[in-house]
Amino acid sequence: MTGTVIIVLVVLALIIPAVYFLKRSNSSRHAEHRDRSNPAREQTQQDFLNSETESQDQPPVSKQSELTSSSQTVISREQHPVSRRDMSENALKVLHRLNSNGFDAYLVGGCIRDLYFDLHPKDFDVATNATPEQVRKLFRNSRVIGRRFKLVHILFGREMIEVATFRASHDQEEASHNRDKSQHSDSGRILRDNVYGTMEDDAIRRDFTVNALYYDVRDFSIIDYCGGVRDIEQQTLRLIGDPVTRYHEDPVRMMRALRFVAKLDFKIDPATAEPMYDLAYLLKDIPSARLFDEILKLLQSGYGVRTFELMREYGLLQYLLPATHHCIEDQDEFAEKLINSALRSTDKRIAQGKPVTPAFLFAAMLWSPMHRMARDLREQGVPPIPAMQQAAMTVLDNQCTHTAIPKRFTMVVRDIWEMQYRLERRQPKSIDTIMAHPKFRAGYDFLIIREESGEQLNEAGQWWTDIQDTAEQDRNAMIRDLRAKPGAGQRRKRRRPRKKPSQPKMNQNSGQS
């Protein structure tokens, strides 16, 4: 019995390996046959094996990647004006930590462009070959945000350094097979963009050549793939790639182009400018909340007057502020002057480092449409104040469908507009109440630019200027003088209704015989 068991075990030990090797040889022959019939598959497998030997991390990101590109230009420290002394210390900390952990990291984009012009960058952005998850592990004071573009925000008190992984260009056919990383709309707009690539890929997918400059803190050089330094020297704004395709991918690039032209005093490349006239309508597909943020960047950059001219010239205004556009096209006498006065005032305050509010600009942009509608309502018999309130609500609601103005700003816009009626009338009993109103200063400033634009307001602006500059006793005298002026600040007295004359009572016995 024991011998039989031993024989069975020996047979099984011989049969099982034989069956295993037989199956493996058959699968190898089938795989070889598939690879011969599909050379692309064989190449893909070879590329995957090569990528495994180059990095231990999950692709597509590799550590300390070597760039070999004929289009790459390296500008040494002696050949460019960008200095570390003008950079954020926190941004340099981020670069050093990423580099010390084996990753490539560079300052990129607008900060390098602005430093070339000796301007103070508003923020500092970092591009790296580390994935967002890898960056998050290195910085405890960070958070991963975004779905359309996955980014990492590293917080240093009030300062925030934005870190992005190198991204690659991708077509819509590839995007349809990998919607969790990349996705396009029917019009070609990028809805999701998390396809990672090399530094050169990242440079080519950026919007403008002057924004595709990379600063390497290790040797203080600047790396240029797209001729950005040349365009800076020639003061030309040029879009990377085919302009029509790039505008379809993100129509906001048209708004960014106008902002950079105004800010840097550049001329725009004809190939970059020409498609705007035909493609401005694409802005209608952009979420209204994003358009609100972008229009603030346009008009509150310190170059609002020039930017507004460019918005009209390239046809963007009718899709951002349609009611304003219609008033200007209808040759409104005061609309354009009022808007330019408001923009000049805003540019001046920004240059002086003073705060500005979007509510003031939107009050100026939409004043003429609101004033027209209120006038039409008054002609229909609606009293002045209800007519203004109804017009204000309608105009602001319509504008919010294009640019989603937050409620905290629309409320201020309405306060400024309603203050105009009270400032024009100068009711003596209400002077102190008006001057104590929280929005008095904004309403007064708006009254001044209305007078500057040519509106006839019976010198109300000068009167309010004088009363703010006078002492208390003189202020009371001004109010008394105002009360004495016929028709100025006088409240029309209501007539008491006349009593109907009493009818003589008829004698009950009259008419009777």
Residues of the chain with CATH 3.30.460.10: 73-234
Question: Which of 207, 231, 269, 347 is flagged as catalytic?
Answer: 207
Residue 494: its pLDDT value, please? Answer: 56
Residue 430: its pLDDT value, please? Answer: 85
- Please indicate whether residue 2 or residue 152 has the higher confidence score (pLDDT): 152
In words, the CATH class of domain 73-234 is: alpha beta
Residue 277: its pLDDT value, please? Answer: 95
- State whether the Cα torsion 15-16-19-25 is positive or negative: negative
Residue 15: its pLDDT value, please? Answer: 65
Range scoring the smallest mean pLDDT among 71-75, 122-126, 314-318: 71-75
CB 246 within 8 A of CB 275: no
Residue 417: its pLDDT value, please? Answer: 96
Q: How is residue 321 annotated by DSSP?
A: S
Range scoring the smallest mean pLDDT among 52-66, 144-158, 408-422, 441-455: 52-66
Structure tokens at 268: 């725009």
Structure tokens at 348: 């001046």
Q: How far is CA 400 from the centre of its chain?
A: 15
| Pairwise CA distance, residues 324 & 336, whole Å | 9
The candidate with the shortest Cα–Cα distance to 163, out of 193, 183, 143, 192, is 143
Burial 490-505 (b: 16+ CB within 10 A, else e): eeeeeeeeeeeeeeee
| Pairwise CA distance, residues 215 & 95, whole Å | 10
Note if 415 is an active site residue: no
The candidate with the shortest Cα–Cα distance to 148, out of 249, 239, 61, 246, is 249
Which range among 7-11, 167-171, 436-440, 498-502 has the greatest average pLDDT? Answer: 436-440
Residue 209 has pLDDT above 60, yes or no: yes
Residue 512: its pLDDT value, please? Answer: 43
Which range among 13-27, 62-76, 267-281, 329-343 has the greatest average pLDDT? Answer: 267-281
Region 261-278 average pLDDT = 95
What is the number of residues in the chain? 513
CB 212 within 8 A of CB 240: yes
Q: Please list the residues that pair with 474 across neighbouring strands.
A: none
Burial class (CB in 10 A: 0-12, 13-18, 19+), 40: exposed
Note if 231 is an active site residue: no
Which whole-number Å values give the CA distances from 200 to 108, 409, 497, in the listed order?
A: 13, 42, 85
Burial 395-421 (b: 16+ CB within 10 A, else e): bbeebbebbebeeebbebbbbbbbbbe
Note if 207 is an active site residue: yes
Which whole-number Å values give the CA distances from 32 to 9, 207, 229, in the listed order?
A: 35, 44, 51
Please, what is the average pLDDT of the chain?
Answer: 82
What DSSP assignment string belongs to 212-275? -EEEETTTTEEEESSSHHHHHHHTEE-BSS-HHHHHHH-THHHHHHHHHHHHHTPEEPHHHHTT
Residue 227: its pLDDT value, please? Answer: 94
Structure tokens at 86: 């003008």
Sequence-distant (6+) residues with CB within 8 A of 28 are none
CATH number for the segment(s) 360-484? 1.10.3090.10
pLDDT in tens, 476-510: 778 877 766 655 444 455 556 566 555 555 544 44
Q: How is residue 224 annotated by DSSP?
A: E
Residue 130 DSSP SS3: coil
Structure tokens at 291: 């358009």
Structure tokens at 98: 């990423």
pLDDT in tens, 45-88: 334 333 333 333 333 343 333 333 447 899 999 999 999 999 99
Residues of the chain with pLDDT > 90: what percent?
61
Query: Quick one: pLDDT band at residue 470, thresholds 50, 70, 90?
Result: confident
- Please indicate whether residue 176 or residue 111 has the higher confidence score (pLDDT): 111
The candidate with the shortest Cα–Cα distance to 172, out of 158, 189, 160, is 189
What are the two backbone dihedrals, phi and then psi, of residue 490, each rounded to the nearest 5 degrees?
-85, 135
| Pairwise CA distance, residues 105 & 94, whole Å | 8
Residue 19 has pLDDT above 70, yes or no: no
| Pairwise CA distance, residues 115 & 96, whole Å | 20
Which whole-number Å values give the CA distances from 82 to 77, 121, 237, 263, in the listed order?
A: 8, 12, 20, 19
Name residue 114's amino acid.
D
| Pairwise CA distance, residues 363 & 370, whole Å | 9
pLDDT in tens, 165-175: 999 875 544 44
Q: Is the peptide bond before 60 cis (omega within 30 degrees of 0)?
A: yes
| Pairwise CA distance, residues 400 & 289, whole Å | 9
Range scoring the smallest mean pLDDT among 40-49, 110-119, 146-155, 392-401: 40-49
Residue 486: its pLDDT value, please? Answer: 56
Helix residue spans in 55-159 (DSSP H): 89-100, 110-116, 132-138
Residues of the chain with CATH 1.10.3090.10: 360-484
Question: Which of 57, 123, 216, 332 is flagged as catalytic?
Answer: 123
